Amino acid sequence: MLKAHSSVTALLRYTGISIPDKVATCRNITCMQHLFGAVRWRSKFTAAPLLTAQPARALIDEQIAIQGRFLPPHWPVTVRAHMHSEEGDLWEAFSHYKTNENGVVNLTTDHSVGGSYVGCEPMGLFWALQPAPSAREGLRLRKKDVETPYVVQLSLWEGHVSSSKRPIEDEQTAGRLAASTVERWYMTPHTRRVEIRQNGIVGTLFLPSGPGPFPAMVDLWGMGGGLNEYRSALFASKGIASLSLAYFGHKDIPGPLDELNVGDDYFRSAYNLLQDHPEVCGERIGLIGLSYGVYLVLRMATHIGVKPMCVIGINGPLGSYDKFPGIKSGDVVNYQMLDEHGNFSLRHFTMPSMIPKENQIKFEMLECPLLCIVGEDDYNCASMETANEIEEILRAAGKAQLFTRLSYPGAGHLIEPPYSPNARVSLWTVKPKKINAIWGGHPAPHAAAQEDAWKKMLDFIEYNLRK
Protein backbone atom coordinates (compact mmCIF):
# COMPACT_ATOMS: atom_id res chain seq x y z
CA MET A 1 0.00 0.00 0.00
CA LEU A 2 2.58 2.58 0.99
CA LYS A 3 6.09 2.45 -0.36
CA ALA A 4 8.62 1.95 2.39
CA HIS A 5 10.61 5.03 1.44
CA SER A 6 7.65 7.45 1.49
CA SER A 7 8.46 10.46 3.58
CA VAL A 8 6.31 11.65 6.42
CA THR A 9 6.26 15.11 4.89
CA ALA A 10 4.85 13.76 1.67
CA LEU A 11 2.20 11.88 3.59
CA LEU A 12 1.15 15.02 5.39
CA ARG A 13 1.03 16.93 2.13
CA TYR A 14 -1.04 14.23 0.40
CA THR A 15 -3.59 13.85 3.10
CA GLY A 16 -3.75 17.53 3.85
CA ILE A 17 -4.49 16.62 7.43
CA SER A 18 -2.78 17.93 10.47
CA ILE A 19 -1.39 15.38 12.83
CA PRO A 20 -2.35 15.55 16.50
CA ASP A 21 0.43 16.73 18.75
CA LYS A 22 0.95 13.38 20.38
CA VAL A 23 1.74 11.86 17.04
CA ALA A 24 3.81 14.72 15.68
CA THR A 25 6.86 13.51 17.51
CA CYS A 26 6.35 9.94 16.36
CA ARG A 27 7.89 10.22 12.95
CA ASN A 28 8.40 6.63 11.99
CA ILE A 29 6.58 5.18 9.01
CA THR A 30 4.74 2.42 10.86
CA CYS A 31 2.94 4.85 13.08
CA MET A 32 2.11 7.10 10.17
CA GLN A 33 0.95 4.23 8.04
CA HIS A 34 -1.42 3.06 10.72
CA LEU A 35 -2.97 6.49 10.99
CA PHE A 36 -2.81 7.12 7.29
CA GLY A 37 -4.32 3.76 6.52
CA ALA A 38 -7.35 4.39 8.65
CA VAL A 39 -7.87 7.84 7.14
CA ARG A 40 -7.23 6.65 3.61
CA TRP A 41 -9.67 3.78 3.81
CA ARG A 42 -12.50 6.08 4.68
CA SER A 43 -11.71 8.68 2.04
CA LYS A 44 -13.81 8.75 -1.08
CA PHE A 45 -10.83 8.16 -3.34
CA THR A 46 -9.76 4.83 -1.97
CA ALA A 47 -10.53 1.39 -3.24
CA ALA A 48 -13.36 -0.19 -1.27
CA PRO A 49 -12.55 -3.42 0.55
CA LEU A 50 -12.44 -6.34 -1.83
CA LEU A 51 -12.85 -10.07 -1.18
CA THR A 52 -11.62 -12.41 -3.89
CA ALA A 53 -11.72 -16.19 -4.19
CA GLN A 54 -9.86 -18.04 -6.93
CA PRO A 55 -10.87 -20.22 -8.61
CA ALA A 56 -14.46 -19.07 -8.28
CA ARG A 57 -15.72 -22.30 -9.86
CA ALA A 58 -13.69 -25.12 -8.38
CA LEU A 59 -13.81 -28.85 -8.02
CA ILE A 60 -14.56 -30.04 -4.49
CA ASP A 61 -10.96 -31.17 -3.94
CA GLU A 62 -9.40 -27.99 -5.31
CA GLN A 63 -7.96 -25.39 -2.99
CA ILE A 64 -9.53 -21.95 -3.26
CA ALA A 65 -7.32 -18.93 -2.54
CA ILE A 66 -9.29 -16.34 -0.54
CA GLN A 67 -7.98 -12.85 -0.04
CA GLY A 68 -9.25 -9.59 1.41
CA ARG A 69 -7.65 -6.39 0.22
CA PHE A 70 -7.86 -2.59 0.58
CA LEU A 71 -8.40 -2.79 4.31
CA PRO A 72 -6.69 -0.78 7.03
CA PRO A 73 -3.40 -2.32 8.17
CA HIS A 74 -3.24 -4.48 11.31
CA TRP A 75 -7.01 -4.53 11.45
CA PRO A 76 -9.26 -7.26 12.85
CA VAL A 77 -11.53 -8.80 10.21
CA THR A 78 -13.79 -11.82 9.96
CA VAL A 79 -14.31 -13.94 6.88
CA ARG A 80 -17.60 -15.77 6.91
CA ALA A 81 -18.74 -18.61 4.66
CA HIS A 82 -22.33 -19.67 4.44
CA MET A 83 -24.38 -21.94 2.23
CA HIS A 84 -27.65 -23.84 2.17
CA SER A 85 -27.66 -27.60 1.90
CA GLU A 86 -30.02 -29.30 -0.54
CA GLU A 87 -32.35 -29.85 2.40
CA GLY A 88 -32.42 -26.11 3.02
CA ASP A 89 -30.35 -26.03 6.19
CA LEU A 90 -28.02 -23.10 6.74
CA TRP A 91 -24.37 -23.99 7.31
CA GLU A 92 -21.78 -21.39 8.21
CA ALA A 93 -18.20 -20.86 9.33
CA PHE A 94 -16.26 -17.86 10.60
CA SER A 95 -12.59 -17.11 10.86
CA HIS A 96 -10.86 -14.24 12.62
CA TYR A 97 -7.79 -12.62 11.14
CA LYS A 98 -5.71 -9.48 11.31
CA THR A 99 -4.70 -7.71 8.13
CA ASN A 100 -1.00 -7.21 7.47
CA GLU A 101 0.83 -3.90 7.08
CA ASN A 102 -0.58 -3.59 3.55
CA GLY A 103 -4.16 -4.06 4.67
CA VAL A 104 -4.29 -7.53 3.14
CA VAL A 105 -5.54 -10.79 4.61
CA ASN A 106 -4.58 -13.95 2.74
CA LEU A 107 -6.23 -17.13 3.94
CA THR A 108 -3.66 -19.27 2.13
CA THR A 109 -0.83 -18.01 4.34
CA ASP A 110 -2.30 -16.19 7.34
CA HIS A 111 -3.32 -17.67 10.68
CA SER A 112 -6.84 -17.53 11.98
CA VAL A 113 -6.88 -16.46 15.62
CA GLY A 114 -10.43 -17.55 16.34
CA GLY A 115 -13.80 -18.56 15.02
CA SER A 116 -14.56 -21.96 13.52
CA TYR A 117 -10.89 -22.89 13.26
CA VAL A 118 -7.48 -21.54 14.23
CA GLY A 119 -4.15 -21.58 12.53
CA CYS A 120 -3.19 -21.54 8.87
CA GLU A 121 -6.05 -23.36 7.13
CA PRO A 122 -6.59 -22.24 3.52
CA MET A 123 -9.77 -24.32 3.22
CA GLY A 124 -10.92 -24.01 6.80
CA LEU A 125 -14.02 -22.03 5.84
CA PHE A 126 -15.28 -25.09 3.98
CA TRP A 127 -14.38 -28.00 6.21
CA ALA A 128 -15.31 -26.10 9.37
CA LEU A 129 -18.83 -25.35 8.15
CA GLN A 130 -21.34 -26.14 10.89
CA PRO A 131 -25.12 -25.98 10.97
CA ALA A 132 -26.20 -22.47 12.02
CA PRO A 133 -27.51 -22.12 15.59
CA SER A 134 -31.05 -22.07 14.19
CA ALA A 135 -30.64 -25.28 12.17
CA ARG A 136 -32.00 -28.74 12.91
CA GLU A 137 -29.92 -31.12 15.00
CA GLY A 138 -27.87 -34.11 14.00
CA LEU A 139 -27.15 -32.96 10.46
CA ARG A 140 -24.60 -34.37 8.04
CA LEU A 141 -23.67 -32.48 4.87
CA ARG A 142 -23.88 -34.72 1.80
CA LYS A 143 -24.62 -33.79 -1.82
CA LYS A 144 -27.32 -35.83 -3.50
CA ASP A 145 -27.37 -34.08 -6.87
CA VAL A 146 -23.77 -34.20 -8.00
CA GLU A 147 -24.45 -32.46 -11.29
CA THR A 148 -24.99 -29.09 -9.61
CA PRO A 149 -22.50 -27.23 -7.43
CA TYR A 150 -22.54 -26.12 -3.82
CA VAL A 151 -22.84 -22.33 -3.93
CA VAL A 152 -20.96 -20.81 -1.02
CA GLN A 153 -21.23 -17.14 -0.10
CA LEU A 154 -18.12 -15.60 1.37
CA SER A 155 -18.20 -12.28 3.17
CA LEU A 156 -15.74 -9.98 4.85
CA TRP A 157 -16.67 -8.28 8.12
CA GLU A 158 -15.26 -5.58 10.31
CA GLY A 159 -13.87 -6.89 13.60
CA HIS A 160 -14.10 -10.39 15.00
CA VAL A 161 -17.72 -11.53 14.76
CA SER A 162 -19.59 -14.80 14.79
CA SER A 163 -23.11 -16.14 14.96
CA SER A 164 -22.79 -17.09 18.59
CA LYS A 165 -22.45 -13.41 19.48
CA ARG A 166 -25.41 -12.27 17.40
CA PRO A 167 -27.20 -13.78 14.41
CA ILE A 168 -25.83 -12.56 11.14
CA GLU A 169 -28.43 -11.92 8.47
CA ASP A 170 -27.66 -11.19 4.86
CA GLU A 171 -29.63 -7.98 4.95
CA GLN A 172 -27.68 -6.71 7.88
CA THR A 173 -24.97 -4.75 6.18
CA ALA A 174 -23.46 -2.95 9.15
CA GLY A 175 -19.94 -4.28 9.42
CA ARG A 176 -20.22 -6.27 6.19
CA LEU A 177 -17.49 -4.91 3.94
CA ALA A 178 -17.37 -7.12 0.87
CA ALA A 179 -18.61 -10.41 -0.52
CA SER A 180 -17.75 -13.05 -3.06
CA THR A 181 -19.41 -16.22 -4.28
CA VAL A 182 -17.82 -19.56 -5.13
CA GLU A 183 -19.18 -22.69 -6.73
CA ARG A 184 -17.82 -26.08 -5.70
CA TRP A 185 -18.42 -28.87 -8.16
CA TYR A 186 -18.28 -32.66 -7.92
CA MET A 187 -18.01 -33.09 -11.67
CA THR A 188 -15.97 -31.57 -14.46
CA PRO A 189 -17.88 -30.58 -17.62
CA HIS A 190 -18.63 -33.61 -19.80
CA THR A 191 -18.06 -36.12 -17.04
CA ARG A 192 -21.02 -38.40 -17.63
CA ARG A 193 -23.52 -39.74 -15.13
CA VAL A 194 -25.33 -42.92 -16.14
CA GLU A 195 -28.06 -44.50 -14.02
CA ILE A 196 -27.64 -48.26 -13.90
CA ARG A 197 -30.74 -50.42 -13.43
CA GLN A 198 -29.91 -53.57 -15.32
CA ASN A 199 -29.14 -57.20 -14.50
CA GLY A 200 -30.71 -56.44 -11.15
CA ILE A 201 -27.92 -53.98 -10.38
CA VAL A 202 -28.78 -50.65 -8.78
CA GLY A 203 -26.13 -48.02 -9.09
CA THR A 204 -24.79 -44.97 -10.88
CA LEU A 205 -21.88 -45.16 -13.26
CA PHE A 206 -19.70 -42.12 -13.76
CA LEU A 207 -17.63 -42.04 -16.93
CA PRO A 208 -14.82 -39.57 -17.58
CA SER A 209 -15.02 -37.33 -20.63
CA GLY A 210 -13.45 -38.80 -23.72
CA PRO A 211 -13.50 -42.10 -25.58
CA GLY A 212 -11.70 -44.24 -23.04
CA PRO A 213 -11.31 -47.00 -22.25
CA PHE A 214 -10.74 -46.00 -18.65
CA PRO A 215 -9.60 -47.72 -15.48
CA ALA A 216 -12.52 -48.11 -13.10
CA MET A 217 -13.53 -48.43 -9.48
CA VAL A 218 -16.48 -50.06 -7.75
CA ASP A 219 -17.49 -47.71 -4.95
CA LEU A 220 -19.31 -48.96 -1.86
CA TRP A 221 -20.54 -47.09 1.19
CA GLY A 222 -21.85 -48.25 4.56
CA MET A 223 -25.02 -49.49 6.18
CA GLY A 224 -26.56 -46.03 6.02
CA GLY A 225 -27.86 -47.37 2.73
CA GLY A 226 -29.11 -45.50 -0.30
CA LEU A 227 -26.67 -44.42 -2.95
CA ASN A 228 -23.84 -41.94 -2.43
CA GLU A 229 -22.54 -40.70 -5.75
CA TYR A 230 -20.16 -37.91 -4.86
CA ARG A 231 -16.95 -39.90 -4.50
CA SER A 232 -17.52 -41.68 -7.81
CA ALA A 233 -18.29 -38.38 -9.52
CA LEU A 234 -14.93 -37.05 -8.37
CA PHE A 235 -13.06 -40.17 -9.51
CA ALA A 236 -14.55 -39.85 -12.96
CA SER A 237 -13.56 -36.19 -13.05
CA LYS A 238 -10.00 -37.43 -12.69
CA GLY A 239 -10.19 -39.99 -15.46
CA ILE A 240 -11.26 -43.03 -13.46
CA ALA A 241 -14.66 -44.48 -14.29
CA SER A 242 -16.52 -45.33 -11.10
CA LEU A 243 -19.65 -47.29 -10.24
CA SER A 244 -21.43 -46.20 -7.07
CA LEU A 245 -23.21 -49.38 -6.12
CA ALA A 246 -26.28 -49.54 -3.91
CA TYR A 247 -26.78 -52.72 -1.90
CA PHE A 248 -29.01 -51.85 1.02
CA GLY A 249 -31.82 -49.48 1.90
CA HIS A 250 -32.58 -48.49 -1.70
CA LYS A 251 -36.11 -48.50 -3.09
CA ASP A 252 -35.00 -50.10 -6.37
CA ILE A 253 -33.53 -53.16 -4.65
CA PRO A 254 -36.24 -55.78 -4.06
CA GLY A 255 -36.98 -56.85 -0.50
CA PRO A 256 -37.36 -55.09 2.83
CA LEU A 257 -35.59 -51.77 3.02
CA ASP A 258 -34.12 -52.54 6.42
CA GLU A 259 -32.51 -55.81 5.36
CA LEU A 260 -29.50 -56.58 3.19
CA ASN A 261 -31.09 -58.70 0.49
CA VAL A 262 -28.32 -59.09 -2.07
CA GLY A 263 -25.50 -61.61 -2.06
CA ASP A 264 -22.36 -62.56 -3.92
CA ASP A 265 -24.16 -62.80 -7.27
CA TYR A 266 -25.17 -59.19 -7.03
CA PHE A 267 -21.65 -57.93 -6.51
CA ARG A 268 -20.28 -60.29 -9.16
CA SER A 269 -22.82 -58.90 -11.65
CA ALA A 270 -21.81 -55.37 -10.82
CA TYR A 271 -18.14 -56.17 -11.32
CA ASN A 272 -18.89 -57.90 -14.61
CA LEU A 273 -20.97 -54.98 -15.81
CA LEU A 274 -17.97 -52.76 -15.35
CA GLN A 275 -15.61 -55.27 -16.86
CA ASP A 276 -17.75 -55.67 -19.96
CA HIS A 277 -18.43 -51.98 -20.42
CA PRO A 278 -16.96 -50.77 -23.73
CA GLU A 279 -15.50 -47.66 -22.11
CA VAL A 280 -13.88 -49.51 -19.21
CA CYS A 281 -10.54 -51.23 -19.33
CA GLY A 282 -11.67 -54.58 -17.91
CA GLU A 283 -8.26 -55.50 -16.54
CA ARG A 284 -7.86 -52.19 -14.68
CA ILE A 285 -10.58 -52.32 -12.05
CA GLY A 286 -10.20 -51.52 -8.37
CA LEU A 287 -12.55 -51.51 -5.40
CA ILE A 288 -13.16 -48.94 -2.66
CA GLY A 289 -15.33 -49.31 0.41
CA LEU A 290 -16.20 -47.33 3.52
CA SER A 291 -17.45 -48.91 6.76
CA TYR A 292 -19.45 -52.07 6.02
CA GLY A 293 -18.50 -51.47 2.41
CA VAL A 294 -14.96 -52.49 3.35
CA TYR A 295 -16.16 -55.99 4.22
CA LEU A 296 -18.03 -56.15 0.95
CA VAL A 297 -15.11 -55.08 -1.25
CA LEU A 298 -12.79 -57.48 0.56
CA ARG A 299 -15.33 -60.24 0.03
CA MET A 300 -15.45 -59.31 -3.66
CA ALA A 301 -11.66 -59.45 -3.88
CA THR A 302 -11.33 -62.83 -2.17
CA HIS A 303 -14.51 -64.80 -2.42
CA ILE A 304 -16.52 -64.33 -5.56
CA GLY A 305 -14.12 -65.11 -8.37
CA VAL A 306 -13.24 -61.65 -9.66
CA LYS A 307 -9.73 -60.25 -9.80
CA PRO A 308 -9.51 -56.53 -9.02
CA MET A 309 -6.15 -54.81 -9.27
CA CYS A 310 -6.39 -53.08 -5.88
CA VAL A 311 -8.65 -52.52 -2.90
CA ILE A 312 -9.08 -49.47 -0.68
CA GLY A 313 -10.79 -49.95 2.69
CA ILE A 314 -11.72 -46.96 4.85
CA ASN A 315 -12.61 -47.66 8.48
CA GLY A 316 -14.21 -51.01 7.99
CA PRO A 317 -14.48 -54.42 9.69
CA LEU A 318 -12.66 -57.58 8.67
CA GLY A 319 -15.88 -59.51 8.62
CA SER A 320 -19.60 -59.18 8.79
CA TYR A 321 -20.79 -58.78 12.39
CA ASP A 322 -24.01 -60.53 11.42
CA LYS A 323 -25.02 -63.01 8.76
CA PHE A 324 -24.44 -61.98 5.15
CA PRO A 325 -26.72 -61.61 3.34
CA GLY A 326 -29.55 -60.94 5.75
CA ILE A 327 -28.05 -58.35 8.02
CA LYS A 328 -30.74 -56.06 9.41
CA SER A 329 -30.33 -52.43 10.33
CA GLY A 330 -33.32 -52.81 12.62
CA ASP A 331 -31.06 -54.62 15.06
CA VAL A 332 -30.17 -51.24 16.41
CA VAL A 333 -33.56 -51.47 18.07
CA ASN A 334 -32.17 -54.12 20.33
CA TYR A 335 -29.99 -51.39 21.81
CA GLN A 336 -27.08 -53.76 21.59
CA MET A 337 -25.53 -51.44 19.11
CA LEU A 338 -25.82 -48.40 21.30
CA ASP A 339 -22.91 -47.17 23.33
CA GLU A 340 -23.12 -46.04 26.94
CA HIS A 341 -24.52 -42.67 25.81
CA GLY A 342 -27.29 -44.17 23.72
CA ASN A 343 -25.56 -43.48 20.41
CA PHE A 344 -25.44 -46.03 17.63
CA SER A 345 -21.96 -47.48 17.38
CA LEU A 346 -20.62 -50.71 15.97
CA ARG A 347 -17.26 -50.39 17.65
CA HIS A 348 -17.90 -53.26 19.96
CA PHE A 349 -19.34 -55.55 17.31
CA THR A 350 -16.57 -54.88 14.80
CA MET A 351 -13.72 -55.79 17.13
CA PRO A 352 -11.92 -58.61 15.33
CA SER A 353 -12.55 -60.96 18.27
CA MET A 354 -16.30 -60.28 18.04
CA ILE A 355 -16.66 -61.15 14.37
CA PRO A 356 -17.82 -64.76 13.94
CA LYS A 357 -15.02 -66.78 12.32
CA GLU A 358 -17.23 -67.95 9.51
CA ASN A 359 -18.00 -64.33 8.60
CA GLN A 360 -14.38 -63.19 8.47
CA ILE A 361 -12.58 -62.40 5.25
CA LYS A 362 -9.99 -64.96 4.20
CA PHE A 363 -7.13 -62.53 3.73
CA GLU A 364 -4.80 -65.29 2.64
CA MET A 365 -6.83 -65.29 -0.60
CA LEU A 366 -6.03 -61.63 -1.29
CA GLU A 367 -4.03 -61.24 -4.49
CA CYS A 368 -3.86 -57.49 -4.91
CA PRO A 369 -2.59 -54.48 -2.95
CA LEU A 370 -4.79 -53.30 -0.09
CA LEU A 371 -4.78 -49.74 1.23
CA CYS A 372 -6.24 -49.56 4.75
CA ILE A 373 -7.26 -46.08 5.84
CA VAL A 374 -7.84 -45.69 9.57
CA GLY A 375 -9.30 -42.85 11.57
CA GLU A 376 -7.85 -43.32 15.05
CA ASP A 377 -10.81 -41.51 16.61
CA ASP A 378 -13.32 -43.76 14.84
CA TYR A 379 -16.17 -44.30 17.32
CA ASN A 380 -18.30 -46.34 14.99
CA CYS A 381 -15.99 -49.12 13.90
CA ALA A 382 -12.95 -50.80 15.46
CA SER A 383 -10.85 -49.61 12.54
CA MET A 384 -7.45 -49.57 14.18
CA GLU A 385 -7.83 -53.01 15.73
CA THR A 386 -9.06 -54.31 12.39
CA ALA A 387 -6.11 -52.87 10.52
CA ASN A 388 -3.73 -54.40 13.04
CA GLU A 389 -5.35 -57.78 12.61
CA ILE A 390 -5.37 -57.60 8.83
CA GLU A 391 -1.70 -56.71 8.79
CA GLU A 392 -0.94 -59.66 11.06
CA ILE A 393 -2.90 -62.10 8.94
CA LEU A 394 -1.27 -60.94 5.73
CA ARG A 395 2.18 -61.09 7.24
CA ALA A 396 1.53 -64.61 8.44
CA ALA A 397 0.42 -65.52 4.94
CA GLY A 398 3.61 -64.09 3.44
CA LYS A 399 1.67 -61.25 1.83
CA ALA A 400 2.84 -58.31 3.90
CA GLN A 401 3.90 -56.50 0.72
CA LEU A 402 0.23 -56.15 -0.27
CA PHE A 403 -0.63 -54.14 2.83
CA THR A 404 -0.39 -50.37 3.22
CA ARG A 405 -1.92 -48.46 6.09
CA LEU A 406 -2.70 -44.77 6.49
CA SER A 407 -3.54 -44.01 10.09
CA TYR A 408 -4.80 -40.59 11.16
CA PRO A 409 -4.89 -39.43 14.78
CA GLY A 410 -7.99 -37.42 15.59
CA ALA A 411 -9.84 -38.54 12.46
CA GLY A 412 -13.23 -40.23 12.75
CA HIS A 413 -15.20 -42.80 10.82
CA LEU A 414 -16.43 -40.71 7.93
CA ILE A 415 -13.24 -40.06 5.97
CA GLU A 416 -14.67 -38.49 2.83
CA PRO A 417 -13.38 -36.35 -0.05
CA PRO A 418 -11.50 -33.29 1.18
CA TYR A 419 -12.75 -29.95 2.47
CA SER A 420 -16.12 -31.31 3.56
CA PRO A 421 -17.32 -30.87 7.12
CA ASN A 422 -17.10 -33.86 9.43
CA ALA A 423 -20.08 -34.95 11.44
CA ARG A 424 -18.87 -36.23 14.80
CA VAL A 425 -22.44 -37.21 15.63
CA SER A 426 -25.43 -37.31 13.31
CA LEU A 427 -28.99 -38.53 13.29
CA TRP A 428 -29.13 -42.26 12.51
CA THR A 429 -32.79 -43.17 12.87
CA VAL A 430 -36.04 -41.82 14.23
CA LYS A 431 -37.77 -45.20 14.56
CA PRO A 432 -38.70 -46.38 17.13
CA LYS A 433 -37.12 -43.29 18.64
CA LYS A 434 -34.52 -40.70 17.73
CA ILE A 435 -31.07 -42.25 17.86
CA ASN A 436 -27.82 -40.58 16.87
CA ALA A 437 -24.80 -42.33 15.40
CA ILE A 438 -21.45 -41.41 16.83
CA TRP A 439 -18.76 -41.27 14.16
CA GLY A 440 -15.91 -39.54 15.99
CA GLY A 441 -13.28 -37.23 14.60
CA HIS A 442 -12.18 -33.77 15.68
CA PRO A 443 -12.57 -31.02 13.07
CA ALA A 444 -8.99 -30.02 12.25
CA PRO A 445 -7.30 -33.44 12.33
CA HIS A 446 -10.23 -35.00 10.50
CA ALA A 447 -10.00 -32.37 7.77
CA ALA A 448 -6.26 -32.94 7.48
CA ALA A 449 -6.88 -36.68 7.23
CA GLN A 450 -9.44 -36.24 4.46
CA GLU A 451 -7.09 -34.06 2.46
CA ASP A 452 -4.09 -36.35 2.86
CA ALA A 453 -6.00 -39.60 2.41
CA TRP A 454 -7.62 -38.36 -0.78
CA LYS A 455 -4.30 -37.53 -2.40
CA LYS A 456 -2.82 -40.85 -1.36
CA MET A 457 -5.90 -42.75 -2.50
CA LEU A 458 -5.64 -41.16 -5.94
CA ASP A 459 -1.93 -41.95 -6.11
CA PHE A 460 -2.65 -45.57 -5.07
CA ILE A 461 -5.32 -45.90 -7.74
CA GLU A 462 -3.11 -44.28 -10.38
CA TYR A 463 -0.22 -46.55 -9.54
CA ASN A 464 -2.20 -49.77 -9.49
CA LEU A 465 -4.64 -49.12 -12.29
CA ARG A 466 -2.50 -47.28 -14.79
CA LYS A 467 0.78 -49.08 -14.89
Partner 1 sequence: MSARRAPVPWLSVRPCRALADERWTVFSVERAPPAAELTVHALLRSEDGDDWEACGHYVSDAAGAVDVCEDVCVGGTYSGVEPMGLLWSLRPVPGSRPNLRLRKKDIGTPMVVTISLHQGFHTAGFPERRPLASLAVERWYLAPGVRRVELTEGGVTGTLFLPPGPGPFPAVLDMWGGGGGLVEYRAALVASHGFVTLALDYMAPKRSAGVVSLVGNDYFEAAFSVLQSHPQVSRDRIAILGLSFGASMALGLSVYSPAIKPSCLVCFSGSHVQPAGGSLGDIFAEFRKNSKNTRYDEEQQVIWRDLLLPIPSDPSKKVDVGRLCCPLLLIVGEDDQNWPAEESARDMKEMMDRSGNGHLLSVLSYPLTGHLIDPPYSPHCRASNFMTTESREKFVVLWGGQTPAHCGAQEDSWWKTLDFLKKHLCYGPQSDITSCP
Instruction: Give the catalytic positions in this structure.
Output: 291, 378, 413
Q: Strand 310-314 relative to strand 370-375: parallel, antiparallel, unpaired? A: parallel
What binding mask, one character per residue, do residues 4-23 give for partner 1 by CB under 8 A, x or -?
A: --x---xx--x---------
Site size toward partner 1 (CB under 8 A) is: 54
The H or E element spanning position 13 is helix 8-15
Cβ distance to partner 1 smaller for residue 70 or 235: 70
**Dist CA 263 CA 296 (whole Å):** 10
Nearest residue to 162 (alpha-carbon basis) of 75, 76, 113, 95: 95
Q: Should residue 189 be labelled a site residue for partner 1 when binding is judged by CB under 8 A?
A: yes
Cβ distance to partner 1 smaller for residue 2 or 31: 2
Q: Could you count the other beta carbons within 10 Å of the beta carbon of residue 365?
A: 12
Q: What one-character-per-residue DSSP string does 247-302 give?
A: -SS-TTSSS-TTB----HHHHHHHHHHHHH-TTEEEEEEEEEEETHHHHHHHHHHH
Q: Do 458 and 171 meet the contact criterion of CB atoms below 8 Å apart?
A: no
Q: Should residue 176 be labelled a site residue for partner 1 when binding is judged by CB under 8 A?
A: yes
Taking CB under 8 A as the binding criterion, the range among 112-120, 149-157, 219-227, 291-299 that sits at the site for partner 1 is 149-157
Q: Should residue 139 be labelled a site residue for partner 1 when binding is judged by CB under 8 A?
A: no
Taking CB under 8 A as the binding criterion, the range among 38-46, 334-342, 390-398, 448-456 that sits at the site for partner 1 is 38-46
Q: Could you count the other beta carbons within 10 Å of the beta carbon of residue 27?
A: 12
Q: Which of 96, 231, 277, 284 binds partner 1 (CB under 8 A)?
A: 284
Q: Which of 94, 185, 344, 408 binds partner 1 (CB under 8 A)?
A: 185
Taking CB under 8 A as the binding criterion, the range among 132-140, 211-219, 223-231, 427-435 that sits at the site for partner 1 is 211-219
Cβ distance to partner 1 smaller for residue 147 or 283: 283
Nearest residue to 286 (alpha-carbon basis) of 311, 269, 314: 311
Q: Do 70 and 50 meet the contact criterion of CB atoms below 8 Å apart?
A: yes
Q: Should residue 48 be labelled a site residue for partner 1 when binding is judged by CB under 8 A?
A: yes
Phi, psi of 181, deg, nearest 5: -125, 135
**Minimum distance from residue 279 beta carbon to partner 1 (Å):** 10
Residues lying near partner 1 in the complex (CB under 8 A): 1-3, 6, 10-11, 14, 40, 43-48, 50-51, 55-59, 69-70, 102, 104, 151, 153, 155, 173, 176-183, 185, 188-190, 209-215, 239, 281, 283-284, 466-467
